[in-house]
Structure 1
Amino acid sequence: MEVELSCMSYVKMFLHAGRFPACSVNGLLLSPGPQGGSMCLSDCVPLLHSRLPLAPITELALQQVDVWCAQKKLRIVGYYQANASMTDSSPTPCAVKIADKIAEHYSNAVLVMVQSAKMSMQERLPPIVVYERRDGHWTLKDKQQIMLRHWEQTRAIANELLASGTHNLLVDFDSHLDDIRRDWTNQELNAKIAELASPANGNV
């Protein structure tokens, strides 16, 4: 199945890693569901930046995001992670465990690893590696089946928001647990990304 990353999902993954550069970060990838032979990752929910291996917090986050997704007619279809080590973008046991759990409910789930070392503003290619589950193992997905439309505009938006400090608006579930008034659905940040993306993309 072809997988398309929207501007919204990519930029938020990028900003999550940029917001906590010294930490491993992770999150959930969302989609309205498959359309024909493809699936669009329309949004993501940043989860954690300091407590990745803690199962109870992950379980709590998954439950809350699942309820919210049902209200928004979305579903959890994947997982992303950026490792603390700049040079290591391999899936960790934590990444595999959470991705496996998602795959139990959605067989076409994807696991996206963000390559932190390639997140510079000069980088011309998307700094991500996408895995799919085949025969019980996570294997690299064919690059021909991964699409990021309007990549140049998306890259420019991500770099602009990072350079302007807008990434500090991003709230992950970790930050929400520290202060429950903070919005882990990131409506304010979403609006800024949508505003920048709409003239270039027509939609996000």
Structure 2
Amino acid sequence: MKLTTQAYCKMVLHGAKYPHCAVNGLLVAERPPAPRPPQPALFVDCIPLFHGTLALAPMLEVALTLGLWQWILVNFKLSVQLFSVALAAGSDYEKINPVSRKTYRKKMILELIFYLVTLSFWYRKDSLFPLLFQIDSWCKENSYVIAGYYQANERVKDASPNQVAEKVASRIAEGFTDTALIMVDNTKFTMECVEPAIHVYELHENKWRCKDPHVDFCEDWTEAQRIAASLLDSKSYETLVDFDNHLDDIRNDWTNPEINKAVLHLC
């Protein structure tokens, strides 16, 4: 696998903005055409998600069972249609025998409760449903696929993946064969970006194993080093937006177009 300069720089900036916190995010790759032979994945961008205690990370692992939110939406639409038909057919309801009518009422009440609960989760500030909906739509628009996960731990000298990181990455690996789990190494953070501040893990025999640290995982490390150092020097990390920032104010764009432009300008 390889990382583009943009993907690498945004991971570094995310960690630099919150040096006192744990941070995490997703990595995306271009969706390969179906008939194309397998090739090493190129991670073209990253999506900064959270900073802090990463309390939502376990929920992310569950929500990344792609189809969870889709299943809810499909069922919601279907039930609304069925409920509308049932209301329109009020006269037919009277023809149902009392036993079936009682079962029917219970079923409709349970469905309404379920969807009210679902909607309450949707509109919660910490809900992952809007997050995944936005990410999925953005990926489809750009022909991307969620292909990896990155995390920086709260403790400076801790660069090992914890159980949460491994579970989230494993969930992603169910839908992408060349998934990478990247741990940001806080001890390698310098303004000059002398060496890559990441450790890359791959899934081997159902276990996440660290790849050779001497392998160059950047598409162009010389370029990535120069641009990352320049962005740190200009304090571009102050403008980086993760999904926590977006939830605080939806005007904050989690795709970070300004940073993308800065990287392109420095290339």
Superposition TM-score, scaled by structure 1 size: 0.88
Identity %: 41
Question: Where is the helix percentage greater, Structure 1 or Structure 2?
Answer: 2
8 Å contact kept, 2:201–2:208: yes
1:8 maps onto 2:10 in alignment: no
Residues 156-195 of structure 1 aligned to structure 2 (within 5 Å): 156-195=226-265
Amino acid of the structure 2 residue aligned with 1:62: L
Aligned counterpart, 1:39: 41
Q: Distance in 2 between matches of 1:58 and 1:8?
A: 28
Aligned counterpart, 1:125: 195
Provide the secondary structure at the position in 2 that maps to 1:28: strand
Provide the secondary structure at the position in 2 that maps to 1:126: coil
Question: Where is the strand percentage greater, Structure 1 or Structure 2?
Answer: 1
Q: Distance in 1 between matches of 2:53 and 2:253?
A: 19
Residues 92-171 of structure 1 aligned to structure 2 (within 5 Å): 92-143=162-213, 146-171=216-241
8 Å contact kept, 1:99–1:110: yes
CA deviation map 1:149-203 (0-9, x unaligned): 3312211211211121211111000110011111001111111111111xxxxxx
| 1:143 Cα deviation from its structure 2 partner | 4.9
Q: Distance in 2 between matches of 1:63 and 1:145?
A: 35
Q: Distance in 2 between matches of 1:137 and 1:66?
A: 27
CA deviation map 1:27-55 (0-9, x unaligned): 11011045753211111010000251222
Q: Distance in 2 between matches of 1:195 and 1:64?
A: 27
8 Å contact kept, 2:193–2:229: no
8 Å contact kept, 2:193–2:225: no
Aligned counterpart, 1:53: 55
| 1:141 Cα deviation from its structure 2 partner | 2.5
8 Å contact kept, 1:52–1:58: no
Aligned equivalent of 1:30, options 28, 32, 39? 28
Give 1 or 2 for the bigger CA radius of gyration: 2
8 Å contact kept, 2:29–2:146: yes
CA deviation map 1:65-121 (0-9, x unaligned): 122101110111000011111100000122112111111111221100010110113
Provide the secondary structure at the position in 1 that maps to 2:52: coil
Aligned counterpart, 2:89: none
Q: Which runs of 5+ in 2 are unaligned?
A: 61-125
CA change 1:145–1:108 in 2 (3 A) is farther
Q: Distance in 1 between matches of 2:254 and 2:140?
A: 16
Amino acid of the structure 2 residue aligned with 1:21: P
Q: Distance in 2 between matches of 1:101 and 1:67?
A: 19
Superposition TM-score, scaled by structure 2 size: 0.68
Q: Distance in 2 between matches of 1:62 and 1:144?
A: 35
| 1:7 Cα deviation from its structure 2 partner | 0.4
Pairs aligned (count): 195
Q: Distance in 2 between matches of 1:51 and 1:65?
A: 22
Q: Which runs of 5+ in 1 are unaligned?
A: 198-204
CA change 1:163–1:133 in 2 (3 A) is same
